Amino acid sequence: MSSEPILQVRNLHKAFGGLQALKDVSFDVHQGEIFGIIGPNGSGKTTLINCITGFIRMDSGKVSFRGKDISRQPPHKIAAMGVTRTFQIMRPYYTLPAYKNLIVPLFSSRARKAGGWRGGGRLGARDTVSIDILEEIGFERDSLVPYKLASTLPTGYLKRLEIARCLALRPEIILCDEVFSGLSMSEIASIIPLIERLQMDGITLIMIEHRLRELFRVTKRVMVLNFGEKLLEGIPEEVMADDEVKKAYLGSEEV
Amino acid sequence: MIEERRKERLDRGIKVRSEGIYAISSWEEMAYLLLPRLFLISGMLALPLVMPGLYWQRVISIVGIYSLLALGFDFLANFVGLVSLGGAFFIGTGGYIAAILNTSFGLPPVVTIPVATIVGAGTCTLLLYPCLPLRGVYFAIVTLMYPLVFARIIEALNILGGTDGIVGVASFPNRWIEQYCILITVIISLFGLRRLVNEDIGLVFRGVKDNDQAVKASALSINLYKSITVFIASALGCLGGAYLVHIYMWSGISQFALDFSIIPIAATVIGGGGTLVGPILGCFILVPISELLRAFGTLRIVFYSLILVAFIVFRSEGIVVYAQRRYHQFERWVRV
Amino acid sequence: MDILIYGIINSVSLALIAIGFTLVYGISRLPNFAHGALYVANGFIVWSLLNILQINYILSIILSLIITGIIGAAIYQFILIRVRGMATSEIIASYAIGLAILEGFRWGGFKGMTYTLPVFIEGSIEIAGIPVDFQRILAVLIGGLAIFLLWLFTHYNRIGLALRGMAQDERAAMMLGIDSDLMALIAMALGSILAGLAGVVLLPMGNIVVEAGYNVLILAIAVCIVGGLGSWVGAVLAAFMIGFAQIITVRYIASHFHMVVALLAIIITLILRPSGIFGRQKQLEERV
């Protein structure tokens, strides 16, 4: 593994009232890897993403990105550094065509700088960029899909739209909150190459998943959360073999 | 057997044809697009000429001021999702600044009005800034309280002329300038705002309204964009306030009065929220009626409160929304 | 010492004013901005019954409370029920109703110094060297009693328990067979009666004026916001905080600042802690 981790999480704590949602969670993510986080329902996976990206204020702990402390930053500043996220419950602008959905992230100064184009100068400049990005993530340019209203898109495309919003920001890290959930096998099969492409482009991915088999096809390293605590971290085979993980997560059932 | 039917609405062919760049392909389509706008502009510009007497010309100016306020309200409420019940706060701030600049420093209206607009909007935005993260009801309540607080503080501290207000503010050189300046401002603001909400930044505002999480995830600061919009809306209000002060040649705590908060809302509801033209039309209907009812004293407040309740309760879409639909679409009955 | 006594009187009055508002909001999530109007309306109804129909004072008070309750219920049944759930529409609609009622009274000639209600018992008493008239003591007693009875009602009565159930979780309550609209109607009627009661108790200390309606609304909102919308314990505590703050301000700064204290309390609370000291709503709900 490379020298310094791109994202470092140390002793993260978060409680909602009496409920300890995250307890002393620490892990490192390295540049260019796909890091998986798994755990049963209610184990604090989404809370972890929310804390890292600033959507929820953590009680204590430290998150650093490239050595810089981002634990007390507001979400938009964290996103502006390139630490982006998707939402488990997709949040597109349902009343807009798919490509108009990317106008908002393209409006940010990060997208403007990274894209090397002057936003707003030319009529429809953002529209063009947005269609390029959508093509990258699998919206066929010559089909009508990028121009359809988000409300009419199938789930698979909405998930891609979530990733596209991150891509519009030219991200360094994308935290994916259950990208595979709710998708059919064939849809997942078409998304996996996209994810591998993102990794090849040098983007670091942190994926929270329920669908272990699909996740293990792309990731080399996973962490297991249970009741807000880190159970262990390792390569998928190791994790699957661990008795405690089986007990906590899988029960007696095999995957 | 009973034949079941339902109403179907379809876009008119000309509406579809005139969307996008193809609009310039024929005179008919261009007329379809331009006529409503031309009608509106020319109608507004002609109004002062047809008004009988000085009194009604003055009413036109007042209508203009309310229109600016209503425009700001509609913009904030329906495009950014901030329901501000504090129109009076904007009017009062702009008004007092203009009055001070004029009476204490002797500046003419040409200077005081723009300065009051910018400085006033800055002040309002700064004061409202801590409240921007508040949602819905809470923002509405807090904005409702602001004008009251300022009125009470001025009263209690006896500053800025206390309950007497600031008198002796210069008036406009003549009534034609007075009316046309405000009408032209209204027209410019209307089309400017329409342009703004249809630009890319308009989508950001829309995101702030109903998809704030996604906006944050898009590396945009909600508070920044909210303050921009509050600045725009309060600039409109402060401009109106400064204008009002120069029309009445007086600035007092009555500018923080409820009229300025309630009429724009009623006008927006009646005219059709989310259209920007609607609130202006609403003002052109409501304010003259309220002037006619002036003889009945506070009955007019009762009157437009009741209209407001009726429109809200029956979820009326508003005049302009209805008119737009009739203009762009036709209806027919189809068998189910 | 006088601060303590007047503080208590003022605080209980505030609690009495606010309890109806917080009751309605707590149960049906309906900010009843017509609260102040109902307060004043009740005063005028008592006055009319007393002076025009020449009815006995106590009887006219009871009658007026019933009438105000019916008015409140009617406002809910015919108007507010249609906008429930749309927060802004609720505020605008109820505020407009209140405005219509108040300005209607003003237009109808109910203004000036002519309209006063007689105090219940004449005279005053000295407490620790400070003269306090009976009406104020009565106000404290009635206020305390009203709050206590309300507490009993909501804890030991079927309807009261249903109301509380709804306050906690409307959907769950509906699943258990509680008619949410009926409960909201009852809450609104009760809230209106409490507004009216506050009017009957407090108005004899001054004139019945339309402006009181606006002030009462502001005070009620202030108490409820500071205490946390919908929280009864919070409302009572906040009433004491604001009540004493007002008296201290009036005593040491100037009496003009009476209302400014309440208004500033609203703004500061909303900025610092929108859920109030005892608010039960989650932070996320009200803040973006």
B216 — contact with chain A (CB < 8 Å)? Answer: yes
**What's the pLDDT score for residue C185?**
87
- Give the CB-side neighbour count of residue A30, counting CA atoms within 13 A: 9
Paired strand residues for A83: A173
What confidence score (pLDDT) does residue A255 get? 42
- Domain membership of residue A82 (yes or no) is yes
**Cross-strand pairs, A229:** A23, A226
Cβ under 8 Å to A: B residues 283-322? none
pLDDT of residue C288: 32
Q: Is residue A1 included in any domain, yes or no? A: no
- A151 in any annotated domain: yes
What's the total number of domains in chain B?
Answer: 1
Q: Which of the four pLDDT bands, split at 50, 70 and 90, describes residue C285?
A: very low
Q: Look at residue B75 in the predicted model and tell me its pLDDT.
A: 93
Residue B46 lies in a domain: no
Q: Measured between beta carbons, which residues in chain A are less than 8 angstroms from residue B21? A: none
What is residue C23's predicted lDDT score, i.e. its pLDDT? 83
Number of structural domains found in chain A: 1
A126:B200 CB<8 A: yes
pLDDT of residue C154: 74
Choice among B311-315, C59-63, C217-221 with the minimum mean pLDDT:
B311-315
Mean of per-residue pLDDT scores for chain B: 84
**Would you say residue B38 lies in a domain?**
no
What does the pLDDT average to over B142-153? 83
Q: Give the closest of B140, B148, B155 to C91, CB-based.
A: B140
What does DSSP say about strands A173-177 and A83-85: parallel, antiparallel, or unpaired? Answer: parallel
Whole-Å CA distances, A117 to A107, A123, A133, A254, B220: 11, 13, 14, 51, 18
Does any domain span residue B44? no
Q: What is the mean pLDDT of chain C?
A: 80
Of A208, A195, A201, the C-alpha closest to A163 is A195
- Predicted confidence (pLDDT) per residue in C54-113, tens digit: 888 888 888 889 999 999 999 888 888 888 777 778 888 888 888 888 888 888 776 665
C286 pLDDT band, cuts 50/70/90, is very low
CATH number of residue A137's parent domain: 3.40.50.300
- What is the rounded distance in angstroms from the CA atom of residue A165 to the CA atom of residue C162? 46
Show pLDDT as tens, one digit a residue, over chain A (255 residues).
456 888 989 888 888 877 888 888 888 998 888 899 888 877 888 888 888 988 888 888 889 998 888 888 888 999 988 899 988 887 888 888 888 888 888 888 887 776 655 544 455 677 788 888 888 887 877 778 888 888 888 888 888 888 888 888 888 899 988 888 888 888 888 888 888 888 888 889 999 887 788 888 888 888 888 888 888 888 888 887 877 777 776 554 444
Sign of CA dihedral B73, C281, C184, C238: negative
Q: Residue B29 falls within a domain, yes or no?
A: no
Those residues whose C-beta lies under 8 Å from the C-beta of residue A215, and which sit 6 or more positions away, are: A36, A38, A180, A207, A209, A222, A236
What is the domain range of residue B151? Answer: 11-21+52-335
Find the residue in C nearest to B262 (Cα). C96
Nearest C-alpha in B relative to C76: B313
Is A2 part of any domain? no
- Structural domain boundaries, residue A83: 7-250
Q: Is residue A44 part of a domain?
A: yes
* A60-65 and A7-16 beta bridge pairing: antiparallel
pLDDT at A119: 47
* Chain mean position to CA C172: 28
Q: Which CATH number fits domain C2-286: 1.10.8, 2.60.120, 1.10.3470, 1.10.150?
A: 1.10.3470
In contact, C246 and C262? CB cutoff 8 Å: yes
Chain position carrying tokens 């010492």: C1
ipTM score assigned to the predicted complex: 0.81
**CA angle in degrees (0–180, nearest 5) for A209-A213-A219:** 65
Structural domain includes residue B40: no
Q: What is the CATH number of the domain that holds B201?
A: 1.10.3470
Tell me how many residue pairs between chain B and chain C have CB atoms under 8 A apart: 121
Residue C34 has pLDDT above 50, yes or no: yes
pLDDT, one tens digit per residue, over B59-96 is 888 899 999 999 999 999 888 888 888 888 999 899 99
**Angle between helix C158-168 and helix C2-28 axes, rounded to 10 deg:** 80
At B9 the pLDDT is: 80
B136-157 and C87-107 helices cross at what angle (nearest 10)? Answer: 40
pLDDT digits (tens, 9 = 90+) for A89-103: 878 888 888 888 888
Inter-chain touch B134–C257, beta carbons under 8 Å: no
Rounded CA-CA distance C13/C215 in Å is: 13
Q: Which of C105, C249, C257, C270 to mutate against chain B (most B CBs within 10 Å)?
A: C270
**B47 in a structural domain:** no
- Structural domain contains residue B86: yes
